[in-house]
Chain A
Amino acid sequence: MTDYSKETVASLARKLANGEASSVEIVKSSIERIKKVDPQVRAFLRVEENDALESAVMADKRLASGERGPLLGVPLAIKDNIVVENRITTCASRILENFKAPYSATVIKKLRAAGAVILGKTNMDEFAMGSSTENSAYGPTRNPWDTKAVPGGSSGGSAAAVAAGYCPASLGSDTGGSIRQPASLCGVVGLKPTYGRVSRFGLVAFASSLDQIGPFGRTVEDAALLMNAIGGYDPMDSTSVNMPLPDFSDSLKKDIKGLVVGLPKEYFIEGIDPEVQKVVRDAADRLAKEGARIEEISLPHTEYAISVYYVLATAEASSNLERYDGVRYGYRSKNGADLSSMYTHTRTEGFGAEVKRRIMLGTYALSSGYYDAYYLKAQKVRTLIVNDFKDAFKKCRIILTPTAPTPAFDIGEKANNPLQMYLSDIFTISTNLAGVPGISIPGGFSSGGRPIGVQMMAGHFDEDSLFAAAAAYERLRDTSIAHRSPNL
């Protein structure tokens, strides 16, 4: 069977368009690779083999009738917090173990209309709460580059599925770095779009003012192709923004001469791994050689971002997760003689430790007597962080930073220290608080062979500049990076 594990969305689309391969062949090869390799990696929670092959047959028919499209017949993986009609969606939680979604997310409808083939659902930290995919009720996912290491999280399964070569691209969600941090740790591209750019309809809510769906891919081009397909206004999501969606393929070839790239001094601090620091400095040098202007900038409230996030995200989560009460869907405990104790038993048995910790923290922050001190205070500091970005984007078009302070850490290394785990999102969280887009692009490897990502951010709805700068960096970086793949 032909090996398609190193293909991109764009290269598969070309092969499908000129008849070199059929969607059924590609999808069969994907499924075979998952069966062979995934017992080591465990990126998938469920592979929907029959569904996928059915979609592939449909795609081949559409191709045969002359239809062409960048995603037509291409296999993708979906994070298990995005609903697909009539299929199980668990959010990697026991409380949704048997939940069969009654409808499809808008992004799923759009992908299906474009002819993409959905292979199945990927592992994640329970309800997207975590940075390592160790908080899954169904066991951790491992990093394809080193199975002793975490893949990052919370979209660790979707990042690992691409890194392991099961499919060229996938979807994740990003509330505080949950796409970009695993992309960095798994050596793939990951994009969090501007808040409001992609419909959240059908994304199981964690923190509604921060959540965004976004793509993983092996290349910046593939991320752009997926964004073209999933982006745009959706009346079903009242926070989605009604503005035209440009063709992001056009952004990729744009010249970066004269582009002002800001390096925020607060992101180059003690505690960041020297190898990570070196990769980002090198990225700045390469962009400068190509004509970009590198400027030191300041995002003065960076150090407060984690605190703001862990008040606001947990407060929103404590409200959003109230719905899991064992009445209308999901797990119901057999313990508890009356309604109120049934609720408590259901939630206590159904949620994992980290989810409970965050519900507790959010409930505390919202509780009478503490609201002003925590929730309102955090909302005010959020304003300061938003203003930091507004000021910064008056001076530069792109902000360049590390994605994560370190390469992938070992499984178990931070599992018993929640605060340490939270700090691994230190460079990604501000982006969500400000609602701006951010992308992680592979930039190098640690001496231990673990991937290191470079993060770029842009102003609201300026994915155009973001893709231009990211694609330029991808062309300018050490060419050996694109040729390395995990040894699985």
Chain B
Amino acid sequence: MLTTEEVLKVAQLANLRIPDGELAAMSAGLSDILKHIGQLDKLDTSSIPPTSHVLEMGNVFREDVVTSLFGHEVTMDNAPAQMHGYFSVPRIIE
């Protein structure tokens, strides 16, 4: 069972805010799923290597050549706020 404190800690890590009214439901929903996931403990995997990728491929290299898929202006078209061609964000330091 995930405690309310744990839910708040994870929310902070994920940059999400869980309103007080939804905390209990979030904690119950996550706990349910984690309880199901707990079944993995039945398996002894001490000698099993992990799989992060199913196909046996290593690193993929290419020449370090600068290409441009689309220009600066097109990139900035989607910016929620911009100033002088830069992304603009709220104040970071006082």
Cross-chain pairs A/B with CB under 8 angstroms, 24 sampled: A99-B78, A102-B75, A238-B60, A304-B40, A307-B37, A307-B39, A322-B15, A328-B79, A343-B15, A344-B17, A348-B16, A356-B26, A357-B26, A360-B11, A360-B16, A361-B30, A361-B34, A363-B10, A364-B2, A376-B50, A383-B48, A383-B51, A384-B48, A419-B36
| CB–CB B39/A304 < 8 A | yes
Pairs of residues from A and B, 6 with the lowest C-beta to C-beta distance, nearest first? A435-B54, A379-B50, A329-B78, A332-B80, A380-B45, A238-B60
Task: Give the docked Cα–Cα distance between A318 and B11 (Å).
Answer: 11
Residues in A398-443 with C-beta less than 8 Å from chain B? 418-419, 422, 433-435
| CB–CB A361/B33 < 8 A | yes
Decide: A344 near B16, CB < 8 A? Known: A337-B90, A383-B49, A418-B33.
Answer: yes
The verdict on A367 contacting chain B, using a C-beta distance below 8 Å, is yes
Chain B positions 17 through 48: 1 when the CB is less than 8 Å from some CB of chain A, otherwise 0? 11000000010011011101101110101001
Interface residue ranges, A against B (CB under 8 Å): 98-100, 102-103, 195-196, 209, 235, 238-239, 241, 301, 303-304, 306-308, 310-311, 318, 322, 325-332, 336-340, 342-345, 347-348, 351, 356-357, 359-361, 363-364, 367, 374, 376-384, 386, 418-419, 422, 433-435, 460
Q: Contact partner of B16 among A351, A384, A435, CB < 8 A? A: A351
Query: Chain A contacts of B15 at CB under 8 A?
Result: 322, 325, 340, 343-344, 347
The verdict on B13 contacting chain A, using a C-beta distance below 8 Å, is yes
A15–chain B nearest beta-carbon distance, Å: 37
The verdict on B62 contacting chain A, using a C-beta distance below 8 Å, is yes
Query: Chain B contacts of A357 at CB under 8 A?
Result: 26, 29-30
Listed residue (B36, B55, B87) with the most chain A CB atoms within 10 angstroms of its CB: B55
Q: Contact partner of A239 among B13, B55, B62, B80, CB < 8 A? A: B55
| CB–CB A311/B77 < 8 A | no
Query: Chain A contacts of B18 at CB under 8 A?
Result: 356
Tell me the dominant secondary structure on chain B's binding face: loop
Interface residue ranges, B against A (CB under 8 Å): 2, 6-7, 10-11, 13-18, 26, 29-30, 32-34, 36-37, 39-41, 43, 45, 48-55, 57, 60, 62, 69-70, 74-75, 77-81, 87, 89-92
Query: Chain B contacts of A241 at CB under 8 A?
Result: 55, 57
Task: Give the docked Cα–Cα distance between A307 and B80 (Å).
Answer: 38
Task: Give the docked Cα–Cα distance between A338 and B11 (Å).
Answer: 18
Task: Give the docked Cα–Cα distance between A422 and B32 (Å).
Answer: 12
Task: Give the docked Cα–Cα distance between A422 and B89 (Å).
Answer: 38
Task: Give the docked Cα–Cα distance between A433 and B55 (Å).
Answer: 11
| CB–CB B80/A327 < 8 A | yes
Decide: A382 near B55, CB < 8 A? Known: A327-B89, A336-B90.
Answer: no
Query: Chain A contacts of B13 at CB under 8 A?
Result: 363, 367
Decide: A329 near B14, CB < 8 A? Known: A383-B48, A383-B50.
Answer: no
Q: Contact partner of A360 among B14, B60, B87, B89, CB < 8 A? A: B14
Decide: A329 near B36, CB < 8 A? Known: A318-B14, A360-B10.
Answer: no
Task: Give the docked Cα–Cα distance between A423 and B45 (Å).
Answer: 24
Query: Chain B contacts of A435 at CB under 8 A?
Result: 54-55
Decide: A308 near B87, CB < 8 A? Known: A196-B55, A344-B16, A360-B30.
Answer: no
B68–chain A nearest beta-carbon distance, Å: 11
Query: Chain B contacts of A332 at CB under 8 A?
Result: 80-81
Task: Give the docked Cα–Cα distance between A217 and B16 (Å).
Answer: 39
Task: Give the docked Cα–Cα distance between A433 and B52 (Å).
Answer: 10
Decide: A380 near B48, CB < 8 A? Known: A235-B62, A336-B90.
Answer: yes
Listed residue (A308, A322, A345, A379) with the most chain B CB atoms within 10 angstroms of its CB: A379
Task: Give the docked Cα–Cα distance between A238 and B53 (Å).
Answer: 12
Q: Contact partner of A460 among B16, B43, B48, B55, CB < 8 A? A: B55
Task: Give the docked Cα–Cα distance between A378 and B92 (Å).
Answer: 38
Q: Contact partner of B91 among A311, A338, A367, A378, CB < 8 A? A: A338
Task: Give the docked Cα–Cα distance between A339 and B36 (Å).
Answer: 37
